[in-house]
Structure formats: C-alpha cells, structure tokens
C-alpha cells in the first residue's frame, strides 16, 4: 500500500440535531480535505465542515441506489489518491441501513485506509425525541430494527414480517412509509391486533419533527389524509402509548 494514500472516514452524522453529533465526527469535519455527504444530513451538521474542504453531495435518494453507490465508492477511492482526510458523511449510523459495510469492504479491497466513526441512528433518536422509549420494564423487553424499503411488487420480500410480529414487543422500521400498507397487513397476519399502537416520526430530532400516532387499523388512512411523507421512522408496540405521557419532557 502506498504511504501517500489518504484515509477515508465513514462518519455517522446522527439523526439531524447537531448536539447529537459525536465529538470525533465533528473534529473530522473541521479537519477534512474532502467531505462526501448524503442527502439526509442536516444543514447544521454540514455547517461544521471546514470552509477549506471540498464538499460533494452524494444524493442517496430512493430508487437510485445501485448506480450512485458505485459512483460514490469510486469517488472516495479517487479522492484518497490526492487528499489526506476524506470524510464520507452518512445520516444516522454508517452500519445501520447505511450501506457503510459495503463501502468499507470496497475501500479495503482497493487498498484504501478506512475507519468507521459511529453515529446515533434515527431508529433510536427519533422515538426518544417523540417520548417513546423502545424498551420499558412494564411494556417491552425486546426490540427489532428492520428496513421496510423492499418493493413487494417486484420481488419476493426477504423480511419475514409475520415472524417479526411474533418475535418482538417493539418493532422499529426504517424506510417503510412507501410499503406501509403491505407491512401493516403482514404484521396483522402475523398476529398483531388491529388496535396495536404505531407511531411515525418524521425528521426526528430536527426542529421540523412531527409525529403521527395511530393504530394498525387506521395508520394507512391517516397517512394519506394528512399527506404524511418520508423520511420517517415507524415504531410499533405498546411503548408507543407512552408518547402522551413523556413527549412533554423530551426532545426539542
């Protein structure tokens, strides 16, 4: 490996609130030569980047992942040839539905030094700012984190939603809004009642955060009626009912 190669840092930007950015991540942004960032990274986090750094928007929008991912990885490899500190800034945590593992493996394969800097994932932070504890001694002792971005109409889903319905007291779903009707139906077929509580938290931890609290029976209709849009985290289970008690005392 050439000693002149720079180092790529896969940095988790957290869910949006700049106060939740790690000190290590902030220091890297202040000293980076190049920052390649995703679309969901909040403006206050981007404001931490040094003025001298080259800033590159990597997009990362729904429906364009494959081609963009290859282009982004190649860009990181190229920048490492000429710069010392390259930050790949990813929303939330790089290793939680952030494709950080794929990028890290490709960089290692290319001989590029790489390090991961964890961030607070939105699946934990967004419910917390909405007053929803994912575990509670009286309500839930298990949590499942799952992606809901699969397109059920194009190929057989890999997530066994019916098994998840039976296997966890709290379910946290990333990127599930577009397939919410299918997911809700599968969870009910798996044994969850129509009155099971569900919360959608949009732009969690940011000033524009908003919540939609409903049941499995009503959530799809309410999403349509209120035009509730992504990005949003879904939380399903009895812990959602604590929202009305705890929301006043947490968050922004």
Q: Which residues are catalytic?
A: 38, 60, 175
Tokens of 160: 């066994």
- Token look-up 């000293």 returns 31
Backbone phi, psi, residue 57, to 5°: -85, 120
What region, left, alpha or beta, does residue 140 occupy, with left being phi > 0 and alpha being psi -120 to 50 degrees? beta
Q: Is 172 exposed, middle or buried (0-12, 13-18, 19+ CB in 10 A)?
A: buried
C-alpha separations of 234 from 36, 61, 176 in Å? 28, 19, 7
Strand spans (E) along 2-142:
7-12, 34-37, 54-57, 85-90, 114-117
The CA distance from 31 to 86, in Å, is 9
Q: Where does 89-218 have alpha helices with state H?
A: 100-109, 122-129, 161-167, 180-189
Tokens of 188: 């009910």
C-alpha separations of 123 from 72, 131, 173, 224 in Å? 25, 13, 8, 23
The CA distance from 196 to 107, in Å, is 43
């Amino acid at each position: 490996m050439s000693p002149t190669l720079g180092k790529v840092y896969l940095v988790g930007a957290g869910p949006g609130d700049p106060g939740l950015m790690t000190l290590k991540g902030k220091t890297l942004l202040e000293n980076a030569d190049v920052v390649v960032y995703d679309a969901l990274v909040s403006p206050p986090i981007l404001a931490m980047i040094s003025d001298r750094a080259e800033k590159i928007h990597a997009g990362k929008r729904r429906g364009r992942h494959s081609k963009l991912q290859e282009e982004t990885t190649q860009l990181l490899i190229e920048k490492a040839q000429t710069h010392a500190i390259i930050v790949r800034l990813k929303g939330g945590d790089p290793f939680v539905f952030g494709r950080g593992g794929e990028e890290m493996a490709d960089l290692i394969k290319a001989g590029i030094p790489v390090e991961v800097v964890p961030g607070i994932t939105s699946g934990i932070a967004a419910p917390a700012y909405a007053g929803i504890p994912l575990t509670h001694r009286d309500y839930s002792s298990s949590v499942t984190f799952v992606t809901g971005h699969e397109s059920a109409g194009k190929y057989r889903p890999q997530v066994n939603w019916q098994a998840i319905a039976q296997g966890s007291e709290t379910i946290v779903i990333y990127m599930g809004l577009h397939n919410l009707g299918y997911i809700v139906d599968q969870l009910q077929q798996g044994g969850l009642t129509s009155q099971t509580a569900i919360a959608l938290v949009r732009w969690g931890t940011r000033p524009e955060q908003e919540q939609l609290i409903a049941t499995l029976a009503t959530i799809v209709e309410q999403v349509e009626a209120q035009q509730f849009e992504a990005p949003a985290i879904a939380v399903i289970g009895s812990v959602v009912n604590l929202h009305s008690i705890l929301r006043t005392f947490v968050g922004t």
